[in-house]
């Protein structure tokens, strides 16, 4: 068994979290890493002593046993389990310091659902890459997609995605969505020549972002996509509709530094097209 930090996955026995546990188990097995399955008993509204709190803990232990048992005969890996108490998002984010990756189910299908909010909380506060997994059927899908915008965060995301694609034998698609002035709508303010100049400059940014990948991964096929008709979220969701994995940085060039999760990452998680990993940069504090 590897001595490296484990992959941890949170579960509440929903369909999304069941998919997350299976996805995490497969990844842990391929990476030769330990797997920890977590469940959080939310005690924020419990004032001790409540005789039924022990019942909640017992139910949580049974849930963990069931989640681990589902892997038998599916993945040749024996996970450990751990029951946590407290706020779900905060507890998983705190636990992430002990892991190499945190995996969580995407939550409810409707925008703004409580479970979806918990996935956002974990992705925002975790100290390691966070994988958010939905219930999409991954059979027949191919490729890794990564979003870039020229920021240090997106450069880190490209490096992460390239390593993923190369290890899995998948092609990599690098997507950059830019806001180009419309020469008709912005007549008198932004001539067509300016729009062309912006596209040329951003195309250079895209090329520089993927520069060096061929040297590091000579067998990796890399596609560059500069999107001028869609916003970043729509461009990434559309590009990853048939992909096995989407990778985005936790913050982008346009994000306020006080925001731990940028608007693009937030939007993608709300419209999850496939398993999506939110990467962290080495410059972000981890304590």
- The pLDDT tens digits for 70-106 are 999 889 999 999 999 888 888 998 999 999 999 999 8
User: Rg for the chain (alpha carbons), in Å?
Assistant: 20
Domain finish residue from 67, 100, 133: 133
Do 174 and 206 lie in a common domain?
yes
Question: In terms of residue numbers, what domain contains 263?
Answer: 144-279
Query: 106, 79 in Cβ contact below 8 A?
Result: no
pLDDT of 138 over the 60 cut? yes
pLDDT tier at 212, thresholds 50, 70, 90 = confident
pLDDT of 286 over the 90 cut? no
With respect to residue 233, please indicate whether it lies within any of the assigned structural domains.
Answer: yes
For 191-255, the DSSP string reads: -HHHHHHHHHHHHHHHHHHHTTHHHH-TT--EEEEEESSS-HHHHHHHHTTT-SEEEEESS-TTS
The pLDDT > 90 percentage for the chain reads 48
Q: What is the CATH number of the domain that holds 33?
A: 3.40.50.620
Do 208 and 185 lie in a common domain?
yes
Other CB atoms closer than 10 Å to residue 180's CB: what's the count?
Answer: 19
Task: Classify 28 in phi/psi space as left (phi over 0), alpha (psi -120 to 50) or beta.
Answer: alpha
Phi, psi of 144 (to 5 degrees): -115, 135
Name 102's bridge partners. Answer: 8, 130
Do 106 and 189 lie in a common domain?
no
With respect to residue 286, please indicate whether it lies within any of the assigned structural domains.
Answer: no
pLDDT in tens, 249-272: 886 544 433 334 568 888 898 889
How many domains are contained in the chain?
2
Do 52 and 155 lie in a common domain?
no
Query: 223, 171 in Cβ contact below 8 A?
Result: yes
Q: What is the CATH number of the domain that holds 170?
A: 3.40.50.12370
Q: What rounded mean pLDDT belongs to the chain?
A: 82
- Enter the tokens of residue 52: 């039924």
With respect to residue 284, please indicate whether it lies within any of the assigned structural domains.
Answer: no
Domain finish residue from 68, 103, 133: 133
Do 76 and 180 lie in a common domain?
no
With respect to residue 1, please indicate whether it lies within any of the assigned structural domains.
Answer: no
Name 40's bridge partners. Answer: 84
In 126-212, alpha helices (H): 152-168, 192-210
> Which pLDDT value is given to residue 264?
85
Do 249 and 176 lie in a common domain?
yes
Rounded to an integer, what distance in angstroms lies between the CA atom of residue 151 and that of residue 279?
A: 13
pLDDT of 223 over the 50 cut? yes
150 vs 146 pLDDT, higher one: 146
Q: Where are the beta strands (DSSP E) in the chain?
A: 7-10, 35-41, 80-85, 101-105, 130-133, 144-147, 172-177, 222-227, 245-249, 276-279
With respect to residue 91, please indicate whether it lies within any of the assigned structural domains.
Answer: yes
119 contacts: CB under 8 Å, gap ≥ 6:
104, 105, 106, 107, 132, 269
DSSP run (H or E) holding 181: none
pLDDT of 34 over the 80 cut? yes
Domain finish residue from 113, 133, 153: 133
- Enter the tokens of residue 209: 């972002």
Minimum mean pLDDT range among 20-29, 134-143, 205-214: 205-214
Do 116 and 188 lie in a common domain?
no
> Which pLDDT value is given to residue 154?
85
pLDDT of 194 over the 70 cut? no
Do 103 and 14 lie in a common domain?
yes
Do 20 and 125 lie in a common domain?
yes
Do 67 and 115 lie in a common domain?
yes
Do 148 and 129 lie in a common domain?
no
Rounded to an integer, what distance in angstroms lies between the CA atom of residue 216 and that of residue 250?
A: 24
pLDDT in tens, 147-187: 988 788 888 999 999 999 999 999 999 999 876 555 544 55
pLDDT of 21 over the 50 cut? yes
Whole-prediction pTM: 0.84
> Which pLDDT value is given to residue 164?
95
Do 181 and 243 lie in a common domain?
yes
- For the segment 267-282, the average pLDDT, to the nearest whole number, is 87
């Amino acid at each position: 068994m590897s001595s490296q930090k484990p992959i941890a996955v949170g579960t509440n026995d929903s369909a999304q979290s069941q998919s997350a546990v299976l996805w995490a188990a497969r990844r842990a097995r391929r990476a030769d890493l330990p797997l920890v399955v977590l469940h959080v008993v939310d005690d924020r509204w419990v004032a001790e002593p409540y005789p039924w709190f022990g019942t909640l803990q017992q139910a949580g232990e049974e849930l963990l046993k069931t989640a681990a048992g589902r892997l038998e005969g599916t993945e040749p890996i024996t996970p450990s389990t751990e029951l946590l108490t407290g706020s779900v998002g905060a507890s998983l984010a705190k636990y992430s310091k002990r892991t190499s990756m945190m995996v969580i189910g995407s939550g409810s299908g409707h925008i703004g659902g409580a479970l979806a909010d918990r996935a956002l909380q974990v992705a925002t506060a975790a100290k390691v890459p966070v994988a958010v997994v939905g219930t999409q059927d991954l059979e027949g899908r191919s490729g890794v997609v990564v979003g870039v915008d020229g920021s240090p965060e997106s450069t880190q995301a490209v490096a992460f995605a390239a390593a993923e694609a190369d290890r899995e034998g998948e092609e990599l698609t690098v997507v950059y969505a830019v806001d180009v002035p419309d020469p008709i709508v912005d007549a008198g303010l932004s001539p067509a020549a300016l729009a062309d100049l912006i596209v040329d400059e951003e195309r250079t940014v895209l090329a520089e972002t993927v520069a060096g990948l061929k040297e590091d991964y000579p067998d990796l096929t890399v596609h560059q996509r500069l999107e001028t008709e869609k916003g970043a979220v729509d461009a990434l969701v559309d590009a990853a509709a048939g992909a096995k994995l989407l990778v985005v940085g936790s913050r982008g060039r346009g994000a306020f530094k006080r925001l731990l999760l940028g608007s693009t990452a937030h939007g993608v998680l709300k419209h999850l097209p496939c398993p999506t990993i939110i990467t962290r940069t080495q410059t972000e504090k981890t304590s």
